[in-house]
Amino acid sequence: MSTSPAGPTEEAGRITNLDALRGVAVFGILLMNAVSYGLPEAAYFNISVANDTPLDWIIGIFGEVFIDQKFMGVFSLLFGAGIVLFADRADAKGNRGSWLSLWRNLLLLGIGSLHTLLWAGDILVAYAIASPFLLLARRLSDWSLVALGAGLVLASAIVLAAAQAGIDVDGRQLGNLWLASGEPADDVGSLVLLTFFMRALGAMLIGVALFRSGILSGERPREYYRRMAAIGLGLGLPLAAIGVIVAAFADFEPRIALISMIPNTVGTIPATLGLMALIILWNMRSETRWHRRVRAAGRMALTNYLTQTILGVIVLQVALDNVELNRTAIIGFVAVVWILQLWWSEAWLSRFRYGPFEWVWRVLTYRRMQPLRR
């Protein structure tokens, strides 16, 4: 048994491919989350809300087909891989990896709970709740993990179909999930949140299998990832487009609200795998400053995720509270935040070992001070 002291992973032991994936994912997540920072809640689910110009429509449709669920899927793959990587490394150092991982994710639950006080769309709580399931399942075979993960995603589509069956023609049960002036949708909202959790956990389980097999860490040949990108995006993106077409032909009426989400949900796994493959191919190219900046953003993913919310609330909900925003304005905000985070992530990590929130999380995880300055 190793007698290496407990502690976080040093820079030399990092898998840079995971950092690149995490960096791209956290930027992609902002594209969807920013909609809920500055627009009515219904705009997140119903792309016909908050459109003033043709450009708003283009942005909404593009987001639904190419962004929605895909970048969160990549982030979920990485979280599943991260659970295994952390526990395995802790075990190798002579520590009880599963117990340390549970403690670490209990802390994440606390961070996410505080985050929900600022913004209701937090995903960290769901990730923390999913962690015990991942630890229990991590010893399953790769194919069992993939089958279980895909089954959860498909089951979430069935939940959406069942929930739609209980929606009246006027859509009152959907409330502010679909109607710009609707009341909070408690019952249906809970079911939609359940489908989010099922999709996330499904992707995490698949992420464990992809990490174990070396796919997620970029160990396969380039041609392997080219095929994965072509097949995954070739299946997933048309399915997402079908959902938009179904909603549009029904004039975005409540009677198809949840049904129109099903094609995108079913296409989540192939589209996510295709997007993952594209990012890995990009990361395999000769290193540039963009690679370093994106990887730095990935190493500070928790800090960047939380500061995106902080900036979104301050700018879009407080400073621009009296301004009627649309999707084009939201894209402008996203672009500014991307530039800031690409700059500050590299600048911060040139002086410090970890992002500020990552450092606090590590200190609490190991219950002793960790070196911060380089």
Distance (Å, whole) CA 362 – CA 251: 49
Q: What is the pLDDT of residues 21-37, one digit of tens each?
A: 999 999 999 999 999 99
Q: What is the pLDDT of residues 67-91, one digit of tens each?
A: 999 999 999 999 999 998 898 888 8
- In sequence order, which residues have a C-beta less than 8 Å from that of residue 50 and are 6 or more positions away? 39, 40, 43, 56, 180, 325, 326, 327
Q: What is the pLDDT of residues 140-164, one digit of tens each?
A: 999 999 999 999 999 999 999 999 9
Q: What is the pLDDT of residues 296-352, one digit of tens each?
A: 999 999 999 999 999 999 999 999 999 999 999 999 999 999 999 999 999 999 999
Q: What is the pLDDT of residues 275-305, one digit of tens each?
A: 999 999 999 999 999 999 999 999 999 999 9
* Within a domain: 5: no
Closest-CA residue to 17 (of 284, 341, 203): 284
* Within a domain: 330: yes
pLDDT top residue among 208 and 374: 208
Mean pLDDT of 44-63: 95
pLDDT at 5 exceeding the cut of 50: no
Mean pLDDT of 160-185: 87
How many structural domains are present in the chain?
1
Q: What is the pLDDT of residues 215-272, one digit of tens each?
A: 999 999 999 999 999 999 999 999 999 999 999 999 999 999 999 999 999 999 999 9
Percent of the chain with pLDDT strictly greater than 70 = 96
Q: What is the pLDDT of residue 308?
A: 98
Q: What is the pLDDT of residue 144?
A: 97
pLDDT at 12 exceeding the cut of 90: no
* Within a domain: 6: no
Range of lowest pLDDT (61-70, 88-97, 115-124, 263-272): 88-97
* Within a domain: 121: yes
pLDDT at 9 exceeding the cut of 70: no
Work out the burial of residue 271: count CB atoms within 10 Å of its CB; fewer than 13 is exposed, 13-18 middle, 19 or more buried. Answer: buried
pLDDT at 13 exceeding the cut of 60: no
* Within a domain: 16: yes
For the chain, how long is the longest CA-to-CA vector?
65
Helix extents (H) in the chain:
16-38, 42-45, 54-62, 70-92, 97-118, 124-137, 142-164, 186-212, 222-249, 262-266, 268-284, 289-299, 301-312, 327-349, 356-366
Q: What is the pLDDT of residue 14?
A: 60
Residue 275 sits in which domain range? 11-366
Whole-number average pLDDT of the chain: 92
* Within a domain: 1: no
For 126-177, give the secondary structure using H, E and C.
HHHHHHHHHHHHCCCCHHHHHHHHHHHHHHHHHHHHHHHCCCCCCCCCCHHH
pLDDT at 8 exceeding the cut of 50: no
Distance (Å, whole) CA 316 – CA 332: 11
